[in-house]
Structures are given as structure tokens and as C-alpha cells.
Structure 1
């Protein structure tokens, strides 16, 4: 414990030496909907926390709804006295914030690894899954890919406007994959990539996607699944900030335009043993088939995680590469679970169903739980799309149906934790009901 504190203290002191103009540091964590919450600490107080002083925040901050309000969930929020819970600093995450008007730092905090972790904290849910796999001698290697849209900074009566091409000042309203779009938006994209690298994130490939103003960023493969999810979460935060600095609005909203492709969170996962052998490639790739079968079996029960809001369900069955059934295939982007072509050493699955605004910790936890279940059950999957284009299993396409499918599934409750599943499902149910509590103009047009 003393060694851990000394490492953190050295990190804070080095940061202060390298960034003497930084007076405050944002201590941040991801809540259930995937938003950061936290506190802004004076740098002097951060040094005390690193040395061992308590760091406490309200436990129920994790339960915030999409709009920031609290819902009554069991005895939480309104019958528990709103207790504090201990958090800890995450080593290696203290970095400068370059997109704000004043010099700042930021650092991740979490309850996992404390004496009393919050069972429904997203990072703690993933930590439990990773720990269980490690005890079984299974070591995931993970890489995220995130799609997002750029919009004009100003909304038009609450509606997004196309991003302005900085060279022509025309709206980037033509969907295409042209490489020239990377050059036309090069200044903001380069800043996003460099800022992410300054946060310690390994940015690799940048792609202009099909939608107008839509791009994709790939991250490097990591043998630390938690760190991979940290990267995805931190990238969303920095990208929004950099976009605003350049006069744009960056959004990971799943389906901002009905007529154009939605934005997804694609996750590549391979599994290795302690000797570095790819477990999926053994025995003529039979474990790969078992893992795929487990993923597909749990997928219909994980839909509130993969599609965490009303808009995310709009993305399913959309214009390009968004499935409406649980399916798999080799080199097939219409499948939920794609097997990219690779050598046995790099054999992996690419899980393509989650929306870009899903919680990366929970998405990865759900995927790993499916893989683990498949390796245990040793069942063969349904036919791949390469053999049967109609192959697939139905999954819920509406939030309340999805919550019902998730809440009482025995395997999921065992793999992700019953307390988390109950809390998460009620959070999603309440968010969905709150979303419905507004009459839109269309209803008056149709029914008045």
C-alpha cells in the first residue's frame, strides 16, 4: 500500500513540475449512462490524496440518469441517506487538459480496488469480469474503434447543422468515404489525435466514414482490458472538447440522421493463455466457435448495454452494416460478431453491435462475459452469414423489452453481478419513461 501511495505521489509531483501553471485537476469517473462526474481539486489537495488522504464522493453519483437526475432505484437515492463512498486515484491517468480556456489537469478515479467497491459502478463491473478471467488463465487483448459525427457548433432550433468544410465554407453534406475529407478537416482531426496521445491514448487509423461529417478513430491493441476501456472513455471527453475549440460540435450519438449511417463502437477481442498462446485458435479454432456461440446467446439479453437509449435503437437495421438479429460471419460487416481475416496468432472477434455512446466499460464486460460463457458451455454457434444470409437470432428492438430480457437472465446476473443488473435495468427503465414525458410537435400534427 505504501509503495502504491509513493508511486501516485511521484506521479503528482512530476506532473506539477512539468505543468507549473496548472492549479486545478478534475477527478473524474464514468456513471451508468456514460457521462463523467467528479470534482475539481486544487493541485495541492491532490498531492495529499495521493499521499493517502481519503477521497470520497456520493455513491449515488453513479446512478445519475442521462439528464443528470436521480431515480428511486430500490433503496438507493432516496432511502439510503445519500452516503459517500471511497474512491481511489487511477495511476497513470493524470494528464493535462488542453481544450479548456485555462490550464487544467484531469485524472480518473474509481471505487474498484477500494475496501468497499460500488457494485454497480461500470469500472467495478468490468474489473470483476477481468479478475475472474485472470484466475482462469484467460488474458484478453482488446482494441476499440469509435465512430462520431462533426456538426456545426451552433444548433438550428435545437437541430444539428452539417459541419462546414473549412476550405470552401460549404456544408459537408455529402456522404462519402473520400480521403480528401481527412485533409479538409485535418486541423481539427490532427488536434483530436494529438490531444488523445497527450492523454496516453494510442491512436492508430483515422477514417472518413460514409455519413456527412462522420469519422472513425481506431486505438491500438492492449493486453489490459481496463486500460482499453479507459482510453475509449477519455477519448470521447477530449474529442468533444477539442471540437468545440475549433468551432465544431463532436457527437457520439448513435443515430443523429435517419437517412445516414449511425455511429458504432466496435470492439476487437482476442484471448490468450499465460504462455501467450491464442486460445481461440486452438484445436482447429473450435474454441472460437464456442466463444461466438456464447456471445450470440447472451447478446439479446445485453441490449440495454449495447443500445443504452431510445436513439441507439434507431441505429439498428439502418442504412449500412447495422444488424437487427444476432449473427456472425467471417469478414462480414453485416454480422454482429465479425471474424476478421488474420493469422492464428491474431485470431479475434470484432463485436460490432454497440452504439458509439454506449458505456465502454459495460460493453467490454458484456462481450467478455459472452466469450467466457461460450468457452464454458462449449456449444456450436448457428450458421455464419457466409453460409446462410438468413441466419440469426432475434433480439429486442425496444428499450422496455430489452430491460425485461436482461433483468432476469441467470447467466448474465452471475457474470455481471445481480446487484448491477437490477440497478442498471431500473436506471434504463426510468430514463426511457422520463424520455416519454414530453409531447412533441408531431403528436399534435397527428392527433390534435
Structure 2
């Protein structure tokens, strides 16, 4: 414990030496819908926390709805006295914030690793899954890919406007998938990439996607699954901030346009043993088939995680590479679970179903549980799409059906935690019902 505090204290003091103009640091954590909450601490107080002073925030901050409201979930929020819960600083995450008007720092905090972690905190859910896999001698290597849209900073009556191309105001003039579009938006994209690298995120490939103003950024493969999820979460925060600085609005919204592709969160996962052998490649890749079968079996029950809001369900069955059934295939982007071509050392699954605005900690936890379940059950998967283009199993395409499918699934309750499953499902149910409590203009046009 002493060496841990010493390391944190050294990190804070080094940061202060390198950034003497920073007076405040945002201490942040991801809630259930995938938004950051936290507090802004004076740098002097942060040094005290690093040295061992308590760091407490309300436990129920994790339960906030998509719009920040609190729902009655069991005895939480309204019958529990709104208690504080201990958090800890995450070592190695204290970084400068360059997109604000004033010098600022930020650092991740979490309840995992404390004496009483919050069972439904997303980072704690993933931490338990990773710890269990480690005890079984399974070591994931993970890489996230995130798609997002750039919009004009100003909305038009609440509706997004395409990002203004420096060479043209017509979105049809933006060349899809071409290097030229990367050049046209190079100033903001380069700043996004450099800012992410300054946060410690390993940014690799940048791609211009099919939608106007849509891009994808890939991260390096990471042997620490938690760190890989941290990168995805932090990237979303910094990217939105950098976009505003350049006069744009960056959004990871799943389906901002009905006529254009939605934005996804693709997750590559390979599994290794303690000696560095790829577990999926053993015995003529039989474990790979088992792992795929487990993923597909649990996928219909994980839909509230992969599609966490009403808009995310709009993305499914869309214009490009968005499946409507649980499926898999080799080098097939229409599949939920794609097996990219690779040598045995790098054999992996690419899980393509989650929307870009999903919670990366929970998405990774759900994928790993599916792989783990498959390796244990040792079942054969359905036919891949390469052999049968009609292959696949149905999954819910509406939130309330998805919640019902998730809440009582025994494997998820066991491996993700029954308390988390109950809390998460009720949070999604209440969020969905709250979303319905407004009559849109179209409803009046149709039925008035």
C-alpha cells in the first residue's frame, strides 16, 4: 500500500513540475450510460489524495440516466440516503487537458480495488471478469476501433448539420473512403490524434468512412484489457473537446442519419495462455469455434449493452455492415463476429455489433464473458456466413424486449454479477420509458 501511494504521489508531483500553470484536475469516471462524472479538484488537494487522504463521491452517481437524472432502482437513489463510496486514483492517467480554454488536468478514478467496490460500476464489472480470466490462465489482448461523425458546431433547429468541408459546403462533394477527405479535415483530425497520444492512447490507423464527415480511428492492441477500455472512454472525451475547439461537433451517436451508415464500436480480442500461446489457435482452431459459439449464444441477451439506447437500435440492419441476427464469418463484415485473416499467433475475433456510444467497459466485459462461456461449454457454432448467408439467430431489436432477455439470463447473472444485471436492466428500462414521455412533431402530423 505504501509503495502504491508513493508511486501516485510521484506521478502528481511530476505532473505539477511539468505543468506549473495547471491549478485544477478533473477526477472522472464513467457511469452506466457511458458519460463521465466526477469532481474538479485543486492540484494541492490531489496531492493529498495521492498521499492517502480519502476520495469519496456519491455511490449513486454511477446510476445516472442518459440525461443525468436519477431513477428509483430497488432501494438505490431514494431509499438509501444517497451514501458516499470510496474511489481511488488510477495510476498513469493524470494527463493535461489541451482542449479547454484554461490549463487543466484530468485523471481517472474508480471504485475497483477499494475495500468496498461498487458492484454496478462499469469499471468494476470489467475488473471482475478480467480477474477471473487471469485466475484461469487466460490473458486477453484487446484493440478497440471507434467510428464517429463530425458535424457543424451549430445545430439547425436541434438537428445536426454536416461538417463544413474546407473545399465545399455540399456533403455530396466529400469523397467517401478516400485519403482526400482525411486531407481536407487534417487539421482537426491531426489534433485529435495528437491529443489522444498525449493522453497515453496508442492511436494507429485513421480512416474516412462512408457517411459524410464520418471517420474511424483504431487503437493499438493492448495486453491490459482495462487499459484498452480506458483508452476508448478517454478518446471519446478528448475527441469531443478537440472538435469544439476547431468549430465542429464530434458525436459517437449510433445512427445520426437514417440514410447513412451508423457508427460502431468494433472490438478485436485474442486470448493467450501464460506462455504467450494463442489459445484460439490450438487444436486446428477448435477453441476458436467454441468461443464463437459462446459469443453468439449470449449475444441476444447482451443487447442492452451493445445497443444502449433507442437510437442505437436504429443502426441495426442499416445500410452497411450492420447485422440483424447473431452471426459469424471469416473475413465477412456483415457478421456480428468476424474472424479477420491472420496467422495463428494473431488469430482473433472482431466483435462488430456494439454501437459507438456504448460503454466500452461493459462491451468488453460482455464479449469476454461470451468467449469464456464458449470455451467452457465447448459447443459447435452455427454455420458461418461464408457457408450459409442465411445463417444466424434472432436477437431483440427493441429495448424493452432486450432488457427482458438480459435480466434473467443465468450465465450473465453469474459472470457479470446479479446485482449489476438487475441495476443495469432497470436503468435501461427507466431511460427508455423516460425517452417515450415526449410527443414528437411527427406524431401530431400523423394523428392530430
Same fold (TM over 0.5): yes
Report if the CA contact (8 A) 1:31-1:37 is conserved.
yes
CA separation in 1, counterparts of 2:227 and 2:197? 14
**Deviation for aligned residue 1:174:** 4.6
Is residue 342 of structure 2 the alignment partner of residue 337 of structure 1?
no
**Deviation for aligned residue 1:175:** 6.4
Q: What corresponds to 1:434 in structure 2? A: 434
CA separation in 1, counterparts of 2:167 and 2:211? 19
Report if the CA contact (8 A) 1:21-1:103 is conserved.
yes
In the TM superposition, what whole-angstrom CA distance separates every residue of 1:338-396 from its partner, at most 9, and x where no partner exists?
A: 00000000000000000000000000000000000000000000000000000000000
Report if the CA contact (8 A) 1:321-1:335 is conserved.
yes
Report if the CA contact (8 A) 1:164-1:172 is conserved.
no
CA separation in 1, counterparts of 2:168 and 2:133? 52
**Deviation for aligned residue 1:401:** 0.1
CA separation in 2, counterparts of 1:169 and 1:315? 26
CA separation in 1, counterparts of 2:129 and 2:46? 30
Report the 3-state secondary structure (helix = DSSP H, G, I; strand = E; otherwise coil) of the residue aligned with 1:412. helix
CA separation in 2, counterparts of 1:168 and 1:321? 28
In the TM superposition, what whole-angstrom CA distance separates every residue of 1:266-293 from its partner, at most 9, and x where no partner exists?
A: 0000000000000000000000000000
TM-score (norm 1): 0.99
Report if the CA contact (8 A) 2:174-2:181 is conserved.
no
CA separation in 1, counterparts of 2:42 and 2:172? 42
Report the 3-state secondary structure (helix = DSSP H, G, I; strand = E; otherwise coil) of the residue aligned with 2:7. helix
Question: Could you say if the C-alpha distance between residues 172 and 105 of structure 1 is closer, same or farther in structure 2, counting changes exceeding 3 Å?
Answer: farther
CA separation in 2, counterparts of 1:172 and 1:74? 50
**Deviation for aligned residue 1:242:** 0.1
**Deviation for aligned residue 1:173:** 6.1
In the TM superposition, what whole-angstrom CA distance separates every residue of 1:57-115 from its partner, at most 9, and x where no partner exists?
A: 00000000000000000000000000000000000000000000000000000000000
Report the 3-state secondary structure (helix = DSSP H, G, I; strand = E; otherwise coil) of the residue aligned with 2:52. coil
Report if the CA contact (8 A) 2:165-2:174 is conserved.
no
CA separation in 1, counterparts of 2:175 and 2:299? 30
Give the alignment's Cα RMSD to 1 decimal.
Answer: 0.7
CA separation in 1, counterparts of 2:38 and 2:13? 21
**Deviation for aligned residue 1:176:** 1.4
Q: Would you identify which runs of 4 or more consecutive aligned residues in structure 1 move more than 4 Å?
A: 169-175
**Deviation for aligned residue 1:168:** 3.7
CA separation in 2, counterparts of 1:246 and 1:446? 40
**Deviation for aligned residue 1:169:** 4.9
CA separation in 2, counterparts of 1:128 and 1:6? 26
Report if the CA contact (8 A) 1:147-1:215 is conserved.
yes
CA separation in 2, counterparts of 1:175 and 1:399? 35
**Deviation for aligned residue 1:167:** 3.2
Report if the CA contact (8 A) 1:88-1:114 is conserved.
yes
**Deviation for aligned residue 1:409:** 0.3
Structure 1 residue runs of 5 or longer lacking an equivalent are none
Report the 3-state secondary structure (helix = DSSP H, G, I; strand = E; otherwise coil) of the residue aligned with 2:206. strand
**Deviation for aligned residue 1:237:** 0.1
